[in-house]
Chain A
């Protein structure tokens, strides 16, 4: 199994994602945004960064990059597709996930570890976790305020909480609707989140709580490579 990590001009977390996937035993390769052939890959990660400078609006230009055509096709075919931070923003712009990401409530960039409560395990990102688990994972974004129709909710995978798992306004770092940090599509094979699981993989860097998320993804990729359906 092999995962494509897409590099847009302005991406900057691509090497970190490859490093982290390798640690959880998954092969990964960088793919340039102008490539249109993703055959040979069993999953896709859109990494964090500032694709096309975030100009116009985050993800608004990246969704037109040539690579997004095969990404859409793979997503439609049920392959695991994960968007982290800027990658999440691109997935919402591309219409692969609902909602939008607005500027943080306090109009300041936020880089610090936050606590996440697992709300659902029906996704390629959370399938190996348990509902109620609390994970410490760094957040690193300016446009991180997830905003969506509040009537939705079944697709929420992760919410911002305190260290005890209490989901409250006080634990909401950026004003996201219902404290939402991560969501999935109905089929469960496309997932996006604002925090960076690849930054919480090694104890020497502070936390290993991102492991369960990337292991979930890797397991899903492996199953998809074996011809199984990976969603719900």
Chain B
């Protein structure tokens, strides 16, 4: 807390704060909880659409899927805890995001993790990477929610500051929706779940809202420890409470613990609350009021219960073998009063903790380096070796086979996973309905570093195209904005540009932003990460296609079609430039709203009609990698025509490849014509070689076997030898 912020607290209270009060303000007003640097900009996001049930500001965003079904979606970061203690940092990230979703009344049905590290040739990065993956697996598998996909990237800039983001999707019936409100005066506050200890004290302020220096290991006690078994019981108990209609409102205890879960629901209800800390079930004695209020012990929920239903609530807790303590009561007026040993230890306006947090209009300006970056292009007058470049791209860990990671995650539980990890978008069925939910998460730090606004917009377009790849139409976005130190003007510029680009793209596609998270201070020893916004896209397919396209369904004799521009030459920010040229510069091609709309609608239509066995969007690695991935997954070769080698590696947006039997030609061409999209026949599948042909001559060829071996070993070989 700064001196100015302390002065604001004194002004609010009309006196010097007590120690416990100061503790509450210090965590609630931290960057992590109060969004004090980002809030002035987040209002830019389009958040409204007829199908939005709950927008940003609650624990999770909620959208209407029709027929009484709702979906709840939330994304969070656990970057700093995961660097300090990879296993527990990642594990508790999973636990926290689950609570955000079942707090809304939803059963969590799937998780996605977006993780980024420095290069794997450094043993410290291998340690962090394997620890984070084990933590996600250890918690997610045991808590019984499948991790069905995610993202993986390795860049120098995440050395010393890995990114660990996690997204959770839940579904619920409309009548089960619960909000984080404390209800009317007289409502009882019941603390459910794990006992409160000294773990994670100040996690929100010490860890999440500060940069790292050399001594970051000393922050390890601020990382919480997860207990997935406790969380599993808590989920089932809460879902039973909702089923029996036993709660007025509920709030999870995450960042800022009891401070947050008492003040926020009371403020939302326009009421106050009295809390007796002596009634909190604790795991160690002699905790001070401040410690009790700040503790971030995991697996706790605060339920707000009508007095008549208290016994029923306690019976459900007893059945599921979780602790339950009555700790307080909602009171008229707006004051939050906290007692310990019979003494009043805090008395503050409940709303002041969440709503009166300071906001900072931090200065921002475009850094001078940006123009230099754009001018820093490569001379490509001499053609590059296509085969060698493709192999190098396929064996890069950011592009190669991620199965070493996702085979450690239970991705099949609940029997909903129709399209699982490894394809562009994931598709989950909702049993007993005709509906399928498609999800994709996308980030690209290099692109956003070169052009924060254009890059962020392209992420929205790309993730929308990814959900279209499995036959869905995009419905809603959540975002996780990972940035460096907001006190630097260039970082703040990257941030504002990102919000603008993302907003413009969402507006162009008519998709609301229903929630998000901001993670600042991702810098270590003064070096900021690339601006790394992550877009989580939810799509709906209703009816769900019976045979959605999959990468492994290519067969000999099938035609290969490219939908979208067939002659891009821009390589700025591409995997080719990073991996082959070891270069980052130039200005990436910007997305185009009209083209984006057309290609997304076309993809949704073709995937839903069921005539295209295999579709794959052109993104990391360009057309050559797109084709190679289809060949590897389908265990087949291909013969692809091209005229300029750069067409094979450009990552320009709004393009995808479709593979289909010759009979499908008329319907593909007709659908593309109708959509105003160029459809180009670029080759065939067959044989055992991936061949590139120019002027009827094979100019580059690799066997599918060697491509497979490079791709399969990209991560595995580094982690297992």
Q: Do A and B bind each other?
A: yes
Which A residues are CB-close (under 8 A) to B408? 108-111
Residues in chain A near residue B233, CB distance under 8 A: 9-10
Q: Are B141 and A16 in contact (CB-based, < 8 A)? A: no
Kindly list chain B residues whose C-beta atoms are within 8 Å of the C-beta of A50. 141-142, 144, 228-229, 232
The residue among A13, A50, A202, A204 with the most chain B CB atoms within 10 A of its own CB is: A204
Whether the pair B418, A204 counts as a contact (CB closer than 8 A) is yes
Interface residues of A, dominant DSSP: mixed
B412 touches A111 (CB 8 A): yes
Chain A nearest CB from B225 CB (Å) reads 14
**Which of the four size classes fits the interface of chain B?**
20 to 34
Of B144, B319, B411, B418, the residue contacting A49 (CB under 8 A) is: B144
Q: Does the CB pair A199–B320 fall under 8 Å?
A: no
Docked complex: B408-446 residues within 8 A CB-CB of A: 408-415, 417-418, 429, 431
Our pick among A10, A15, A140 for the contact of B410 (Cβ within 8 Å) is: A140
Contacts of B407 in A (CB 8 A): 109-112
Instruction: Chain B residues near A53: list those with CB within 8 A.
Output: 142, 227-230, 232
Best-buried of A11, A111, A140, A202 by chain B (most CB within 10 Å): A111
Query: For residues 85 through 104 of chain B, which have their beta carbon under 8 Å from a beta carbon of chain A?
Result: none
Question: Is B518 interfacial (CB 8 A cutoff)?
Answer: no
| Min distance, Cβ B108 to any Cβ of chain A, angstroms | 12
B375 to chain A, nearest CB (A): 47
A57 proximal to B (CB < 8 A): no
CB nearest neighbor in A for B322: A9
A33 nearest CB neighbor, chain B only: B321
Q: List residues of chain A with CB within 8 A of the CB of B409.
A: 109, 111
Say whether A55 faces chain B, with CB atoms less than 8 Å apart.
yes
Q: Contact check: which of A10, A19, A110, A138 meets B232 at CB < 8 Å?
A: A10
Cβ-based interface call for B546 (8 A): yes
B321→A19 contact, CB < 8 A: no
Interface string of A195-227 (1 = CB under 8 A from B): 010110110110000000000000000000000
Q: How many A-B residue pairs have CB under 8 A?
A: 82
**Chain B residues in 8 Å Cβ range of A108:** 134, 408
Instruction: Specify the chain B residue showing the minimal Cβ separation from A52.
Output: B229
Distance of A142 Cα from B407 Cα, bound (Å): 11
Let me know if A54 is at the binding interface, CB within 8 A. yes
Residue of A11, A12, A15, A205 contacting most chain B CB atoms (<10 Å) = A12
| Contacting residues, chain B, for A13 (C-beta < 8 A) | 413
A12 touches B229 (CB 8 A): no
A55–B229 touching, CB < 8 Å: yes
Asked whether, in the complex, the Cβ of A199 is within 8 Å of the Cβ of B412, the reply is yes
CA–CA, A17 and B546, complex, Å: 23
CA distance A11 to B134 in the complex (A): 20
Q: What residues of chain B lie closer than 8 Å to A16, measured between beta carbons?
A: 413-415
Contact partner, B429, options A20, A138, A204, Cβ 8 Å: A204
Question: Considering only CB atoms, which chain A residue lies closest to B141 in the complex?
Answer: A109
Contacts of A54 on B, CB cut-off 8 Å? 142, 229
Indicate if the CB atoms of B410 and A111 lie closer than 8 Å: yes
18 further interface pairs, Cβ-Cβ under 8 Å (given A50-B228, A111-B410, A199-B412): A10-B229, A12-B144, A12-B232, A32-B319, A52-B229, A53-B227, A54-B142, A54-B229, A109-B137, A109-B138, A109-B141, A110-B407, A111-B408, A112-B407, A140-B410, A199-B415, A204-B546, A205-B415
The 8 closest A-B pairs by CB, nearest first: A53-B229, A12-B144, A50-B142, A109-B408, A109-B137, A112-B407, A111-B410, A16-B415
Cross-chain pairs A/B with CB under 8 angstroms, 28 sampled: A9-B229, A9-B233, A10-B142, A10-B232, A10-B233, A12-B232, A15-B414, A16-B414, A20-B415, A32-B319, A50-B229, A50-B232, A53-B230, A54-B229, A109-B407, A109-B408, A109-B410, A110-B407, A110-B408, A111-B407, A111-B408, A111-B409, A111-B410, A140-B141, A140-B412, A142-B141, A198-B415, A199-B412
